[in-house]
Amino acid sequence: MRLILIVAGLAAAAPARAAILRETAGLVMVRRAGVDAWRPARRAPLRLASGDSVRTGFNARVVVSLDGGAVLEAAGNTQFALEESRTGTAADLVFGSLRLRARDLGARMLTVRAPTATARVRSLAADWSAAVSGGGNALFEVRAGLLGVEGAAGGAMLLRAGERVEADLAGLHEPSLVPTPERALREDFAARMRAELSEDLERGAVQELAGAELRRQEHELGRVLTDASGDRVRAEEFVVRAAPDRFEFVALNQRRGAGLSWYSWTGTFDAALPADLAPVFQALPGSVGAPAPWTLTSFTATRSNGVDVLTQSAAGGHQVDLNANADPADDVAALFDPAAGAFVSTVGRPVYRSLFDRGGLYADGVLKRGWTGTNLQAMSDAIPASASDPLTGAALAAALPSYTSNATAPDGSAARVTALESYSDGTALTSDERAVAPGGGVTTRDAFGPATSGTAYQAALLRQGFELTTAATEFGGRTVDVLVSPRVLIETGTLP
């Protein structure tokens, strides 16, 4: 009996086993318990003691192995502290997001403490995430297992796989279902875009209180525009270098009472791009004389209002001399030169442009139309998609419906074109394109002279604002409205 007591006493006195910082990517900093200074985690593995804190930089990542076989993964812009004990591990999440996974916790407890709530695993195996945003608001999502959540303001609930709950200073919200991966991507993108805009929007609110003079200056600086309907729109455009061979153009619109909408175009190339993207943009519509040093192999263009999304994607890109192939209908007579800000003649000269072997158009994830091919030398040789998704190859539940398209000018005196695609299954897709005058409203047709299409029309359009309104049967009566630079649409081929 004495031996048993001695062994039990030694076990009770044994210190908790340390966590191991196993993987790092990007800037990862560690602050030891009782120390004020942060130090870079220069190499892994690295032992973490109870009370140590970890912080990740932008786009960084860290993986920590915890006692009991659990794994903690932190995304970029995250700070947390670990507290190890004989009974389990607790992570104090200050800001950012964590994902925790465990196969067999046994009797050990796995806890995340956020400013407004605390979550504890209630099953042997678990896969769940926690995120803390501004004001200490917390979001918990469960992929597998059971999770108990207690609000700092009171209340508790048990979350099962596929459920999530938000917590703030007022307490726990009603639990809801975790969104599908497609919806999660849209929500994540919207959150990132709101973060980009938040600081500028706060400045805009202050400026609005300053009176008409500051509002006039905002218009002159182009931060606040007036759309075709006369509504004020805070508009931002920027380029994100997502990887050495990829960049993303984003146009964001914030309308009072209507939330955030955006247009984005992401292109992936076969080689690393130069630091200055000007020659890349210049070559996107076509490279004259010789192929461009880099080939656009895939792209995704997206329009969204935060709920609905219209996506056009293509892959299998390769450069083709359109003026030397067998299809005279795709010959390029002129190209936009960004350096000169004008169109230049390319008649009789080689013009290389990326053609894509696979592509599709999706409304809220539903494939509307697409094409396939092998080393296409002309888009007229492409085979319309029918029984399978052209990008994933997945079989469709039903053959794609046939469709017809037409474009009209509903108001002959306005610079406005409405394109309608009507599908044999009764659905429809409408795109309304309008040139916007500097003070708002639709530009009159007189500003374009006799041109109604082609390079002359596009050249005149470069001097205007441009608004896209998209509607689809799948959108349930909602529309996507985006003010965007016509120059970018021309360069990326959205406006051929």
Tell me whether residue 2 is in a domain: no
Domain shared by 72 and 21, yes or no: yes
Helix (H) or strand (E) holding 208: helix 181-209
Within a domain: 58 = yes
Question: Does 496 fall in a domain?
Answer: no
Last residue of a domain, one of 178, 206, 231: 178
The pLDDT score that the predictor gives to residue 219 is: 36
Domain count, the chain: 2
Is 7 inside a domain boundary?
no
Do 161 and 214 share a domain, yes or no?
Answer: no
Residue range(s) defining the domain that contains residue 286: 184-491
Q: Considering 128, 144, 178, which residue would you say is the last residue of a domain?
A: 178
Confidence at residue 306, expressed as pLDDT on a 0 to 100 scale: 84
Whether residue 118 is contained in a domain is answered as yes
Whether 313 is in a domain gets the answer yes
Q: Give me the tens of pLDDT residue by residue for the chain, a chain 496 residues long.
A: 443 343 334 334 444 456 899 999 888 999 999 888 889 988 888 999 999 999 998 888 999 998 778 899 999 989 999 998 878 889 999 999 999 998 888 778 899 999 999 999 988 888 999 999 877 789 999 999 999 999 988 889 999 998 999 998 888 988 888 766 555 555 555 555 555 444 443 434 433 433 433 333 333 333 567 787 888 888 877 777 778 899 888 888 888 767 788 888 899 999 999 988 888 888 888 899 999 999 999 999 999 988 899 999 999 999 999 999 999 999 999 887 766 667 788 999 999 999 999 999 999 999 999 999 999 999 999 999 999 999 999 999 999 999 999 988 777 777 778 899 999 999 999 998 888 877 677 877 776 665 555 666 666 666 667 788 999 999 999 999 988 877 777 666 666 5
Query: pLDDT at position 450, please?
Result: 57
Last residue of a domain, which of 178, 210, 232? 178
How many Cα atoms occupy the beta-carbon half-sphere of 371 within 13 Å? 17
Geometric angle at alpha carbon 241, from 361 and 54, rounded to 5°: 115
Predicted confidence at residue 4, as pLDDT, reads 39
228 and 133 within one domain: no
Question: Is residue 26, in this structure, part of any structural domain at all?
Answer: yes
Are 329 and 452 within one domain? yes
One domain for residues 310 and 449: yes
